[in-house]
Amino acid sequence: MTAPPTPAHTGHLTAKLSTLDRYLAVWILAAMALGLGLGRLIPGLGQTLDSFKVAGVSLPIAVGLLVMMYPVLAKVRYNETGRILGDKKLMITSLVINWLLAPAFMFALAWIFLADLPEYRTGLIIVGLARCIAMVFIWNDLACGDREAAAVLVAINSVFQVFAFGALGWFYLQVLPGWLGLPTTSAGFSIWSITLSVLVFLGIPLVAGFLTRTLGEKAKGRDWYENKFLPKIGPWALYGLLFTIVVLFALQGDAIIAKPLDVARIALPLLIYFLVVFAAGMLIGRTLGMGYERTTTLAFTAAGNNFELAIAVAIATFGVTSGQALAGVVGPLIEVPVLVALVYVALWSRKFFTSHTQQKVTA
């Protein structure tokens, strides 16, 4: 006899994409084109947007990311995160993939495809070290992943990012190449820029989301909060995403358009990275019996990267016109449409997890 899925998970797992979500790939491609067009048609727009900074953080991009992340973090049921922390299988697997396997895989890809282009190679390795703390909430939510698990895993990645990014950068750019007899690269990363990125892009929306849910439920109750309030703010996550993409490509459009062949060479290992790491996360999660929601969250948190941090570190360390910075810019150019496509792949894969669960119950 098979056991039906619990009510708490049934609605989430069978949620359907709205019209806005369903055509997200179209909106994202349009946002990219709009950003590139604005950057080319309006002289000095990129420099003007880039001039609005506080402590090295781009204000337009920060605003877009905050608007994007707040609605998703306001959906998290924070009183249920304890069950995620108790899931040692998920915690350990996520840490191993994010901080051991994924950076090592990006290092290998960078040397395989860009061995003759040291600046791009270094930039790609930096992208591999910057674990996702922002857009992963969007992909996870669209694919009906576990929101509470995403919040916990992103928080853990943020802490590791602050303390481990510099050390891993030193290891992958100096120590490991030296062991392998390969050329080394200086790795003078600013811990302050890494910490600031985490505080701005995760800390602010996380606190805002927590306070909104806590105060909203206390004042009006959970039913009002989840059925009245959340549907009103939900679309703003995608509005923020699209605004961020427009600004990002308006800022960096010239670099992308000026070197199409270089962009293609950087794009190929990135494409392989996103597809392989996502597929590995899904296969590992299913093999370990984590269920669809947590497996999807595991896969997206592993495949996504913090391009904001990667770009900021590359610019601060090597300069705004450096090849390292260009490699960071190409990251979201490939990551955004690929991970949108993987949302649909994840949703399609749900049937395999359903049958897998049933087989385990009947065994």
CA 39 to chain centre: 24
Q: What is the DSSP string of 128-169?
A: HHSB-SSTHHHHHHHTT--HHHHHHHHHHHHHHHHHHHHHHH
CATH number assigned to the domain comprising residue 265: 1.20.1530.20
Query: Where residue 15 falls among pLDDT bands split at 50, 70, 90?
Result: very low
**pLDDT exceeding 90 applies to what percent of the chain?**
32
Q: Is residue 10 part of a domain?
A: no
pLDDT at 360 over 60: no
CA-nearest of 352, 343, 361, 357 to 283 is: 352
Cβ atoms of 284 and 94 within 8 Å: the answer is no
Give CA separation, 130 vs 2, 166, 255, 318, 336, in Å. Answer: 42, 10, 21, 16, 15
Q: Is residue 14 part of a domain?
A: no
219, 223, 228, 230: CA torsion to nearest 10: 90
Q: Is residue 346 part of a domain?
A: yes
Q: In the predicted model, what is the mean pLDDT of residues 19-45?
A: 78
Q: What is the pLDDT of residue 286?
A: 94
Q: Is residue 333 part of a domain?
A: yes
Q: Is residue 9 part of a domain?
A: no
Q: What is the pLDDT of residue 187?
A: 66
Cβ atoms of 90 and 84 within 8 Å: the answer is yes
Structure tokens at 318: 């090597």
How many Å from the N-terminal Cα to the C-terminal Cα in the chain?
A: 10
The per-residue pLDDT for range 60-102, each reduced to its tens digit, is: 877 887 888 788 788 888 877 777 888 899 999 999 999 999 9
Cβ atoms of 353 and 286 within 8 Å: the answer is yes
Higher pLDDT, 2 or 223: 223
Q: Is residue 4 part of a domain?
A: no
Q: What is the pLDDT of residue 158?
A: 77
Rounded CA separation 51/45 (Å): 10
The per-residue pLDDT for range 242-258, each reduced to its tens digit, is: 888 788 778 777 767 77
Q: What is the pLDDT of residue 197?
A: 67
Q: What is the count of structural domains for the chain?
A: 1
Q: Is residue 109 part of a domain?
A: yes
Rounded CA separation 322/315 (Å): 7
Q: Is residue 224 part of a domain?
A: yes
Buried b (16+ CB within 10 A) or exposed e, 90-99: bbebbeebbb
Residue 341 is part of which domain span? 28-357
